[in-house]
Amino acid sequence: MATSAMSEKRVVLLCGDYAEDYEVMVPFQALLAYGISVDAVCPGKKAGETCRTAIHQLSGHQTYTEIRGHNFTLNASFEDIDHTKYDGLVIAGGRAPEYLAMDAFVLNMVRNFVNSGKPVASICHGQLILAAAGAVGGLKCTGFPAVGPTLIAAGALWIEPDTLAACVVDGNIITAATYIGHPEFIRLFVKALGGTISKSNKRILFLCGDYMEDYEVTVPFQSLQALGCHVDAVCPKKKAGDLCPTAVHDFEGDQTYSEKPGHDFTLTANFEDIDASSYDALVIPGGRAPEYLALDGKVIDIAKHFMESEKPVASICHGQQILAAAGVLKGKKCTAYPAVKLNVVLAGATWLEPEPIDRCFTHGNLVTGAAWPGHPEFISQLMDLLGI
């Protein structure tokens, strides 16, 4: 597999309640997709327990807004972490670092990673923990602008972020301003772990729409950008710079998933100007958007172009509603969110049961997944088709 070179690497992802939603899940699933083992932990919690996350974004006010995000499931227990058995550390931002910076066990773990010379990547407000651990003295670092005074007081050589995508490297410490900078932040961390990215000069198109699932657009989008791919996101009747509101879909004890508002996703290209033949692959996020995108003739034409040209197509969750409407699933083996099974079967495909829900499948040029927990397989299988 394309990810085998990193398969022996292990890293820790430090989480906490109300860590920023993207700043937990994007690096977590991107690194897993690249073949790196990631243990996500939170003090006082064990594997299988959850951290509630927060969605932070600038919405025209004097500071960022906050709403509830997904529930993030930890896969390791904090008390079991031994830094000598890991190759690096990632510190998520959001509000969690405010209280994690007061936890002596957290600070001791962070110092151990820093002093060992292993890569430590911290984003947004995560740098509060580095400051509390005494790890930034004399080091160049950036962060969310509001963190600047604290870092300066801790002796850091503060680099004011010229954009919220800014990243800075000094020694074994990688810092970033916000999740907007994830592609560079993740790429720098992979490089620090000894990873090499090759054959990544691919052009990839995302078919987006209002209320697509928040994770299902941004996790693969930023994961592919981190690999050096040129990624364009388009939506009918919208242009580059326009926003698509997203939806947070999660299971919280009801008979079906709940929906909450997600981040606003910024499109990168004009839908009307798209030349599908100039792209190497197509990605279709899920959520509620595919219900209405499947009624758009140009969307259907784009899906047909990629499938008939046998270029890689990766579709997840409800995204397969578009492929079913395009009539391109006949003879294909694929999965989808279970409620979309009817669409898939009526379109002439052979249904593959997503058991467990993170299972993904490749049949010819088509990668399909059932839901966002499957992103690591989903992205990795697309990487294989692209030869990255």
CATH code for the domain of 349: 3.40.50.880
Instruction: Give the domain extent around 108.
Output: 10-193
Strands of the 258-266 sheet, one edge to the other: 212-213, 243-250, 258-266
In this structure, are 146 and 229 located in the same domain?
no
Is pLDDT of 268 > 50?
yes
pLDDT tier for residue 6 given thresholds of 50, 70 and 90: confident
**How many domains is the chain built from?**
2
Q: Token pair of 238, please? A: 């919208």
137 and 214 assigned to the same domain: no
Residues 161, 239, single domain; the answer is: no
Is residue 334 among the annotated active site residues? no
The active-site residue out of 125, 182, 263, 375 is 125
Whether the pLDDT of residue 1 is over 70: the answer is no
Band (198; pLDDT cuts 50, 70, 90): confident
Do residues 155 and 219 share a domain?
A: no
Q: Which residue in the list 56, 70, 263, 318 is annotated as catalytic?
A: 318
292 lies in the same domain as 209: yes
Q: Does residue 53 share a domain with residue 124?
A: yes
Q: Which of 229, 235, 317, 334 is catalytic?
A: 317
- Same domain for 136 and 275, yes or no, is no
Half-sphere exposure of 99 (CA within 13 A, CB side): 10
Hey, CA dihedral for 249, 250, 251, 252, is it positive or negative? negative
Round the CA-based radius of gyration of the chain to a whole number and report it.
Answer: 20
Query: 225 with 334, same domain?
Result: yes
| 54-94 tens-digit pLDDT | 999 998 999 999 999 999 999 999 999 999 999 999 999 99
pLDDT (tens digit, 9 = 90+) per residue, 170-186? 999 999 999 999 999 99
Note whether residue 4 is domain-resident: no
* Percent residues over pLDDT 90 in the chain: 96
- Which residues fall within 8 angstroms of residue 232, CB to CB, at 6 or more apart? 203, 204, 205, 206, 268, 269, 274, 279
Rounded-to-integer distance, Cα 280 and Cα 343, Å: 26
Summarize the confidence of residues 92-110 as an average pLDDT.
98
Domain boundary residue, one of 193, 227, 255:
193
Shared domain for 305 and 226, answered yes or no, is yes
Which domain-ending residue is among 193, 223, 241? 193
| Residue 258 confidence (pLDDT) above 60 | yes
In this model, does residue 46 exceed pLDDT 70?
Answer: yes
**pLDDT of 3 over the 60 cut:** no
In the set 15, 124, 244, 360, the catalytic residue is 124
237 and 212 both lie in a single domain: yes
186 & 238 share domain: no
Give the pLDDT score at 277. 97
Cα–Cα distance between 331 and 327 in angstroms, integer? Answer: 11
Mean pLDDT on 271-288 = 98
Question: Is 244 known to be catalytic?
Answer: no
| Average pLDDT, integer, range 335-356 | 97
| DSSP assignments along 177-224, one per residue | SSGGGHHHHHHHHHHHTT----S---EEEEE--TTEEHHHHHHHHHHH
Pair 156, 254 in one domain: no
Residue 5 predicted with pLDDT over 80? no
305 has catalytic annotation: no
pLDDT at 29: 98
Active site residue 317: yes
